[in-house]
Every structure is written in C-alpha cells, then in structure tokens.
Amino acid sequence: MKKKILYLFIILTSIFMMNRVSATEITKAGDNVVHEGDYSSLRIVAGNKVDNKAKNDGLSVMAAQDLVLEGVSSYGFYAGKNITFNETIEKDLFLAGLNITFGSDSIINRDAYIAGNSVKLNTTVKRDLRIGASTVDLSNAKIGGDAYVDAEKIIVSENTIIEGTLDYPENIVIVDLEKANITNVKMHAVEVIDEESIYDTLSSSIISFVAQYILLVLVLLLIPFVKEKLEKTNLEASSIFKNIGIGFTLLIMVPILSVFAVLTTILLPVGLIALVLYVIAVYLSYLFVSYIVGYLISKKVFNRDNLYLNAFIGLLVCKFVSLIPGIGGLVIFLSLLFGIGNYMNFINKK
C-alpha cells in the first residue's frame, strides 16, 4: 500500500509541476514545443505539449502535460501526464507519468525505471526493468534482464519475453502467464503498513525537512560566499562527472587518512578535527546540491531568484527523488558525490 501511495504521489507531483510551467526559456519552454537538433549536453525542455525529435549525446530532462518522445538520448529523465515514447535511449531511462505508452520503435539499451498509472510497454529493454503502476501491459515487451514489477494488474502474452526473472506481487493473478516466454518467475510479499506507521513516518520526514531547510538558509545567509559559488556551479556533463569522481575519491580517502592520523600521538587532534569536519561537509554537500537544483528551477522555470524559494524547492525535489523505489538512493548518492567534489570549486578565486 505504501508503494502504491508513493507512485501516485510521484504522478500527482509531476502533473502539479506541469500545470505551472511558464513560457520562460530554460533550454526550451512554452505551450507547444518541438525540440530538434543535435546536442551533447544537458537539455532541459518543458511546456504544455512537448515533441522531442532531437538527438542528444548527453542527459535529456523534459516535462509536459503531453510528452511525445521521438529522438535519441544517452540518458532520459522524463515526466508528464500523457507520454508517448518512441525514443532510443542509449543508456538508462527514468520516467514518471499518468498514461505511458511505449511504441514498437522505441528501445532502451540499458536499464529502465518507470512510475505511472497505466503503462503499456511495447518495447525492448536490454537490461533490467523496475516499474510501479496500477496497470502494466507487457504483452509485447522484451526484457533482456530482470523485471521487477509492482502493480495491481499485469498483462502478458505469448509475445512477452523476459530473459531474467519476473518479480511481481504475490496478491495478484497474471492471466496467461504460462504462455509468456519468461526464464524465471518469483513473487514478492506485499508490504502492509498501518495508518499510525504512515503518520509517524510522515511526521519525522516533515521535521527532518524543516530542520534541513533552516540549516541551509542559515548557512547561506551567514556565508554569502557559499551562495555565490553554488549559483555559479558548472553543470556541463564533463564537469558533473569530474566532480562525482573527485567526490568519490574524497569520500573514501579522507576518513582513511583521518583514522591513521588519530592512531598517532602527534596528529591525534588533527585527525579528530578532520573527522568532525568531514561529517559536516558530507551532510552540507547534500543541502548544497539541493540548493543548486532549487536555484535552477526557480530562475529558469519561475523566473525568480530568491534564496528562501530556491532552498525550499531544491530540498522538496531532492526529497521526492529520494523516495523513488530503486533509483532514489542511487541518484541521491551520486548527488552527494557531486556535492563533495564541488567543494573544490570553492577554492577557485573566480
């Protein structure tokens, strides 16, 4: 039940955001947008209706009430009310919407993560599929790896091919499952959570959110230099991957060196201070990345630049992302690495 509420929440949030997209330019924005051309960078496109025909050797982020995808992207992050998918994704796909239809010409060359209400998957996913929806139609799907499906209704046929394991809830019955070409089938238990547990979880999440918001705002108000540096963060693909690499190195090496320092008499104080600063820096890195996200959305979508609004939107978006089953933890971890690596930019004088 908790997962169903979460998937519905993601969908409603997507629709909420779609209804508030203005004609302010991001990469491209407007009521009816046709996105074409060849790119190799981060592309952000939003509108009431978006038709993507572009080829992008990078990350494509798009949101619309009606989203038609007919291009090529390395990575795709898409959200909308009605999504028609005829695109080629060279690597991984992240998709959330209300009604999602994959055409037979579409293909995902690695993994796909999908949240929706009604999903019709007439496509090939070469590796793993993770999907949560009310209805999932796999009658013409070909999955090269495992398929983890959380749905109230799953449709398969003799054309369904899953080369790995189909993992689905134990409380549903799949008609014609024996006719499908599936290597292995397993069922997972349905988690049942009472209202009191949901209330406690929600309360703790709200308290945590408020505490993070207050801390982030205070840091940026007391240290304006940090705010200026965050707003000038380079978000080109090469810079993002570079910061993630630096962040991973620092995440591993700093505690190791600090522990070695603690074990020596002379460097004991230095090691202890380094460990404390390390914990603070790691925690703040998440907040700083949240602010960057909020700053980007506020300025580009809402045409406003307000510290309080930036912090609120950024933390809210990151909170939503962290709740997405399967990918939320990974995205937040990569964001954490990026935030740690981005500290190196604070050293630059520019």
Strand partners, 77: 61, 94
Domain ranges, residue 41? 2-188
pLDDT tens string 177-219: 999 999 999 988 876 655 565 566 667 777 888 888 888 889 8
Do 226 and 342 sit in the same domain of this protein? yes
Among 182, 191, 184, 185, CA closest to 161: 182
CA distance 239 to 244: 9
Give the pLDDT confidence score for residue 13 in this predicted structure.
Answer: 43
Please check the confidence at residue 222 and state whether its pLDDT lies above 60: yes
d(C-alpha 159, C-alpha 86), whole Å: 19
Q: 150 and 259, same structural domain? A: no
If asked whether residues 184 and 116 sit together in one domain, one would say: yes
Q: What is the mean pLDDT of residues 143-152?
A: 93
83 and 181 share a domain?
Answer: yes
From 188, 217, 241, the end of a domain falls on 188
Q: What is the pLDDT of residue 255?
A: 82
- Domain shared by 145 and 226, yes or no: no
Greatest mean pLDDT range, 22-26, 154-158, 233-237: 154-158
Residues 132 and 217 in one domain: no
Q: How far is CA 330 from CA 68, 120, 148, 237, in A?
A: 27, 26, 17, 18
Residue 164 has pLDDT above 90, yes or no: yes
Choose between 27 and 54: higher pLDDT.
54
Same domain, 167 and 256: no
Q: How confident is the model at residue 240 (pLDDT cuts 50, 70, 90)?
A: confident
- Of the residues 163, 188, 213, the one at which a domain ends: 188
Question: 183 with 217, same domain?
Answer: no
Question: Is residue 3 within 8 Å of 150, Cβ to Cβ?
Answer: yes
Buried b (16+ CB within 10 A) or exposed e, 96-135: bbbbbbbeeebbbbbbbbbbbebbbbbbbbbbbbbbbbee
| Beta bridge mates, 68 | 51, 84
The C-alpha atoms of residue 233 and residue 228 are separated, in whole angstroms, by: 9
The residue written with tokens 């988690």 in the block is 191
Q: Tens of pLDDT along 246-286?
A: 888 888 888 888 877 777 777 778 878 888 888 888 888 88
Q: How many domains does the chain have?
A: 2
Is it the case that residue 289 has pLDDT exceeding 50? yes
Domain boundary among 146, 161, 188: 188
Do residues 161 and 200 share a domain? no
Query: Both 162 and 209 in a single domain?
Result: no
- 246 with 322, same domain: the answer is yes
Answer whether 158's CB lies under 8 Å from 181's CB: yes
Q: Is 255 in the same domain as 307? A: yes
pLDDT of res. 256:
83
